[in-house]
Amino acid sequence: MEQQAVNLQGENDRDVDLGQMLDVQSTPEEERKVLQEQQAVNMQGENDRDVDLGQMLDVQSTPEEERKVLQKLDSVLLPLMACAYFLQFLDKFILGQAALFDLRQDLNLHGSEFAWTSAVFYFGYLFWSWPSSYVIVRVPIGKYLTVSVFIWGGILMCHAACKNFAGLMVARFFLGVGEAAIAPGFSLITGLFYKRKEQPLRQSAWYFGNCIAALLGGVISYGIGHINTTSIAHWKLIFLILGAVTSAYAVVLFLFLPDSPAKAVFLTPKERAIAVQRTLENKTGVLDFGSFKWNQALEATLDPQTWFLVLYTFTSNLANGGLTTFAPIITTGFGFSNFKALLLQMPLGGAEIVFILLSAAITTFIPSSRILCMTFNILISMLGMLLVWKLDPENAAGREVGLTLSVVYAVNLPISLSIISSNVAGFSKKSVVTASLFVAYCAGNIVGPQFFLASEAPSYPTGLEESISGFALGAVFLLCLFVYYNWENRRRNRLYGRPEEMTSREELADELSNKTDRQIESFRFPQRRRPRGGHLPPFPEEFAMQGLGFTAGYFPEGWFANENVESETHYLEARSMHSQHRPERVLWLGVQLARLAGEWIEYSNVDGYTFSVRRKGMEYLEAENGSGYCGSPS
């Protein structure tokens, strides 16, 4: 395999060829000397928080150290991003709630003007999405996102100064500009800091802030609406209070949100090296930032997966543009008062919480299930919208249940972003694909509200019909993406052979290269593997180890596991050091997931603690002989 050159520039602007780095023959003493010099240069001056390439490649880490790094990343990054996303959705969502506090009357909005104040937000979002994809590669990503949060908080406060339709339109447009970088930026950060298999759960974790905002947004507005004051309108108070909180939160992001794993202030130098090294296996350009590559941008626009994701995002968000703004008004059409309609927005957030937890569990423990999970979610939303549309107008409870289910599609956004993080290689290409997705997101949110006609308020039948059609088309495009990934993997296997046939040197070259997924011959899209010829299906312990690993990551002193995988003998044993921990439950879950995946047909429960699994097409061997699957408390 032809080696590619990778430019790794430092302050002295000297380039290092990757092929030379891999082929050079050196003594251990020479390697130690070079490494010491690299570390000495790297730890000086204003770049003293960076981790150099020599340390990154040379560092030796234990599973316990990796778990500790992962814990630190989770405990800092996920709360930071979740809180920011909570504010982002809340600040966007409150326009519909402010409408219940006489915003439309005070600003003299008529006809479709209120719908346009919702849509113009996405014009601003759309306007800045493409420039943001360029800027986010050129500047430190953490600082860029911090500035964005501070600016949009100030713009939100400016909403309170609006006197008419024109003023509100300007404020909403620039609010969209301020918020445009957040979700794409958080998606890129997730790809920088986490392995492929870790990304779906982490994308869902920070997106959880969206669900909490949907759950509590109505309650917050309800509380502000009951502030006893006559000097200022309550809808103005909502914008002022939430805007001030958002700008203040930007200070927290400035202090703690890192630009890359090598600059994470909450990690030690060795932990930074481990953080960089552990994501190399993604092959998605962990070192590929600092310059924008136009050839990668062109490839992104020609890639079929980009277009399937874009078309899905556009069609599914035809409903989002209407529901985000008009859901409280639709609820009043069921016969509820304005204040009760605010409280009834809580079930919508509750539904998102339930389904995002369910989706995170499924996509984490069942390999390559993301697209099918997204399809299920969008069909649930279509069912909910059908209930709102077709149930008798007197059936307020049933229609409210339908409205609650109709928002389930929203949990697909972090899954879409995790698909980009793991399936698109090359930092510039990834940023362009992410920006394209949000361009489609904006377009859907701009078009959608135009079908919610003021003359049809508060039931909006035309808007409901348009939303149902969008959900159906979205499901079709998701299935097209699923078929494309499987076809492309088979094509690559025919051309390049299976990636497991590569040498470790070739794998390292791919991991450190700044190439795209279409240029890396060993790159494959994650998919469910089936027995084929002499190839064995996935081992059941792969399923259990994910559940066990998650538990062990947070209770490292309470668990340990032994794994032995040979040619035809597979064994996994997990023991608890404390009686209250029940490893057999985690292992049993892994068995069930393996059976659901269709790779294994039966298991036996020997004594309540030991489980053995029979592989298709192979002779059954007892657990004690090494091919089983067991766990028992000590």
In the 3-class helix/strand/coil scheme, how is 534-563 assigned residue by residue? CECCCCHHHHHHHHHHHHHHHCCCCEEEEE
- Assigned domain for 237 exists: yes
Higher pLDDT, 478 or 340: 478
Mean pLDDT to the nearest integer, 215-225: 86
What is the token pair recorded at 590?
């892994």
Phi, psi torsion values for 565, nearest 5 degrees: -120, 115
- Assigned domain for 505 exists: no
Alpha helices, H only, 333-426: 338-343, 346-365, 370-390, 396-405, 412-423
Ramachandran quadrant class, 497 (left: phi over 0; alpha: psi -120 to 50; beta: rest): left
- Assigned domain for 511 exists: no
Asked if residue 574 and residue 477 are part of one domain, the reply reads no
pLDDT at 474 over 60: yes
Asked if residue 26 and residue 133 are part of one domain, the reply reads no
Asked which of 465, 489, 513 is the last residue of a domain, the reply is 489
Q: What is the CA radius of gyration of the chain?
A: 26
- Assigned domain for 562 exists: yes
Query: Which helix (H) or strand (E) covers residue 79, if one does?
Result: helix 63-98
Strand-pair partners of 94: none
Asked which of 489, 509, 524 is the last residue of a domain, the reply is 489
Full-model pTM = 0.62
Mean pLDDT to the nearest integer, 155-163: 95
Min mean pLDDT across 337-341, 406-410, 468-472, 595-599 is at: 595-599
Distance, in Å, from the CA atom of 510 to the CA atom of 3, rounded to the nearest integer, reads 9
* Residues contacting 345, CB < 8 A, separation 6+: 97, 214, 217, 218, 327, 328, 331
Asked if residue 145 and residue 32 are part of one domain, the reply reads no
Asked if residue 55 and residue 70 are part of one domain, the reply reads no
User: What is the per-residue pLDDT for 379?
Assistant: 96
Asked if residue 184 and residue 54 are part of one domain, the reply reads no
Asked if residue 182 and residue 120 are part of one domain, the reply reads yes
pLDDT at 387 over 90: yes
Asked if residue 332 and residue 247 are part of one domain, the reply reads yes
Asked if residue 371 and residue 238 are part of one domain, the reply reads yes
Asked if residue 32 and residue 84 are part of one domain, the reply reads no
Strand-pair partners of 603: 613
Asked if residue 42 and residue 122 are part of one domain, the reply reads no
CA distances from residue 625 to 64, 571, 614 in whole angstroms, order as listed: 29, 9, 13
Strand-pair partners of 605: 611
Min mean pLDDT across 93-107, 213-227, 253-267, 571-585 is at: 571-585
Asked if residue 114 and residue 40 are part of one domain, the reply reads no
Contact 307, 477 (CB under 8 A): no
3-state class of 142 per DSSP? helix
- The DSSP annotation for 34-48 comes to HHHHHHHHHTSGGGT
Contact 321, 444 (CB under 8 A): yes
Number of domains in the chain: 3
Distance, in Å, from the CA atom of 151 to the CA atom of 249, rounded to the nearest integer, reads 11
pLDDT at 378 over 70: yes
User: What is the per-residue pLDDT for 60?
Assistant: 73
pLDDT-derived band at 493 (thresholds 50, 70, 90) equals confident
Contact 6, 18 (CB under 8 A): yes
Segments forming the whole domain that contains residue 30: 1-60
Asked which of 460, 489, 518 is the last residue of a domain, the reply is 489
Phi, psi torsion values for 614, nearest 5 degrees: -95, 130
- Assigned domain for 251 exists: yes
Strand-pair partners of 574: 561, 631
Look up tokens 């298999």; give the residue. Answer: 197
CA dihedral 454, 458, 460, 464 (to 10 degrees): 140
- Assigned domain for 501 exists: no
- Assigned domain for 289 exists: no
- Assigned domain for 269 exists: no
What is the token pair recorded at 489?
């993997």
Residue 513 one-letter amino acid? S
Mean pLDDT, all residues of the chain:
74
CATH code, domain carrying 188: 1.20.1250.20
Mean pLDDT to the nearest integer, 479-486: 89
Asked if residue 470 and residue 596 are part of one domain, the reply reads no
pLDDT-derived band at 414 (thresholds 50, 70, 90) equals confident
pLDDT-derived band at 107 (thresholds 50, 70, 90) equals very high
